[in-house]
Amino acid sequence: MADLTFVGAAGTVTGSKHLLTVAGHHVFIDCGLFQGEQAITALNDAPLPVEPDDVEAVVVTHGHLDHIGYLPKLVRDGFSGPIYCTPPTQALMQIVLDDAAQLQVEMARRGLEHERAAPPCYYDERDVQRTMRLVHPVALGTSFEPLAGVRTTYHNAAHVLGSAFAAFELEGKRIIFSGDLGRYDRTLLYDPDPMGTADTIVCESTYGDTVHPPDAVATLRAALLDASARGGGIVIPAFAVERTQDILLAVAAIQRQEPRLQSLPVHLDSPMAERVDDVFERFPEAHKPIPNDGAATPFGVSDFSLAVTTEESKALNHLEGAHLIISASGMATGGRVLHHIHNHLADEKSTIVFVGYEARGTLGFILTHGAKTLRLFGDTLPVRAKIVNLTGFSGHADRNDFTRWFSTCTAKPHLYAVHGEPASAAALAAFASARFGWTAEPARRGVTVQL
C-alpha cells in the first residue's frame, strides 16, 4: 500500500516537500524551505507528519533552495538516511546550502545586534556539512532504490543544471514527480526527457496559466537601451545558480548587435558566481556548449567585472553613469542585491529588472506589483526607479512547454498540481483534463492521497 502526503508547495510555490509512504516506510521527494511572506515562512516551523528519524531517504530533484533548503534542518532534527540527487545537483547543493546557512547566521547576528526580531536560524555550516555527507549522487537514467522494492530513476528536467524529474516504480505503478519543469529550446540546457508511461504525476504549476513572452532577449535589449539612455544604474536580481549565466549570455548577444551598449559596464556581484562557473566546467555533459566566441570575458560580455569580496561589492555603490549590476537573490529575499536595490530604488534614473518568478510576499513580488514605497534596512524609500518584470527568462515551463511535455506521456495519469499559486495550479489541472483527458486536481497541503 502506498500513499502520498503533500507537505509543502501545495497551494504555494515554495517549500517543496512530498512524503511518499510505502508499506509504512517514508521517503521525501524534495525538502525545501518555505519562502516569502510571513504566513508562508511560518510553515517552516510546523511539525512534519512524521518524525525526521522515521524518514528513510530523501530524493532531491534539483538544487534550488525551495527544494533543498530544509534538508540541514531535517538532519539537525534527526534524519540520517541517504539523500539522492544527480551529480551536478550535489555540487550546486553545497553552494546553495553554504550560502543559506551563512545568510541565516548573519541575519540572526544582526537581529541580536540591533535587538530586533530576526528570522529563525534553522541551521549553520556544520549542519550543512553533516547534510552533504549523506548525499548519494546518481546519474540520469540510472535506477536506485530509496526504499526496498521502490525503483527510482532520474530524467532530465531542463530547469537548472542537474535538474531532474523522478520516476518511481512501485507496486506495478509508475509515479512521476516533475520537480520544477524547465523549458524546451534553452540556450544552455537540453530539452526535458520524454515522460513515458505514468499512473500518477505530481507536477509543478508555477506558470500553469501563462505563456511566456516569445522574445526575452529583445525585451531585455529594449530595457537596457532605455535604462542606459537615462544614464542610471541597472540592477538585475538573478539567482546565482544558472540564471545569471543565461542573463550574461543574453547581455553578450545584445552587446554584439547593439553598438550603444558595448561600453555598458557589466558587474557581476556574487560570492557564489565563481563556484557556480566551476560546476558548469566540471559537468560539461550536463549542459550545451557555452558560446563565447573565444572572448576573454565570461560569455563574451564586454567591459565585465566580477565582485567577489564584500569590499568589491561595496565599491559598486559609487559607480556613476549607466552600468549594469547582476546580483543574487532573484526574488530579492536576501543577499547583496538588497544593498543595490537600497542604493538605486529612490533614483529615477535607475532601473531594476526582475527576470524570474517572484513568490508572493518577497521583495521582488512587492516591487513588481506596483509598490510606491518600500521599507528596507530600516529606511522607507520611495520607488522612483523604473521597475521591469521580464518573465521571458524564466526557468519554469509555461503552458506551451507543459503541452509538449504532457504529449510525451503514453498513458492517461492522474495529475496533482503542486508548486503554484492556487489559480495557476487550478488552471494547469483544468488544462490537463480538457486537453489530454487526464483526471487532475490541485494538491492540498496536509492531505494524504492513496496511489
Q: What residues make contact with Zn ion under the rule CB under 5 A?
A: 64, 180
Nearer to Zn ion, 64 or 336 (CB): 64
CB of 348 to Zn ion, least distance (A): 34
CB of 302 to Zn ion, least distance (A): 31
Nearer to Zn ion, 56 or 401 (CB): 401
CB of 179 to Zn ion, least distance (A): 7
138 CB-near residues (< 8 Å, 6+ apart): 84, 85, 86, 144, 154
Please identify which residue in the block is written with the cell numbers 558587474: 267
CA dihedral 326, 332, 337, 342 (to 10 degrees): 130
Nearest-angstrom CA–CA distance, 319 and 308? 17
Angle, CA of 57, 63 and 69, to the nearest 5°:
70
Nearer to Zn ion, 34 or 304 (CB): 34
Strand order in the sheet with 233-237: 304-307, 266-269, 323-327, 233-237, 351-354, 386-389
Nearer to Zn ion, 32 or 232 (CB): 32
Type of residue found at 41: T
For residues 431 and 438, the answer to whether their CB atoms sit within 8 Å is no
Backbone phi, then psi, for 333, in 5-degree steps?
-90, -5
CB of 159 to Zn ion, least distance (A): 6
Determine which helix (DSSP H) or strand (DSSP E) holds 101, and give its type and residue range: helix 87-113
Nearer to Zn ion, 156 or 255 (CB): 156
CB of 447 to Zn ion, least distance (A): 23
Question: In angstroms, how far is CA 436 from the centroid of its own chain?
Answer: 28
CB of 210 to Zn ion, least distance (A): 16
CB of 402 to Zn ion, least distance (A): 16
Nearer to Zn ion, 69 or 413 (CB): 69
How far is the CA of 239 from the CAs of 63, 106, 112, 243, 331, in angstroms? 12, 19, 28, 6, 8
Nearer to Zn ion, 21 or 44 (CB): 44
Strands 266-269 and 304-307: parallel
Nearer to Zn ion, 221 or 243 (CB): 243
CB of 110 to Zn ion, least distance (A): 28
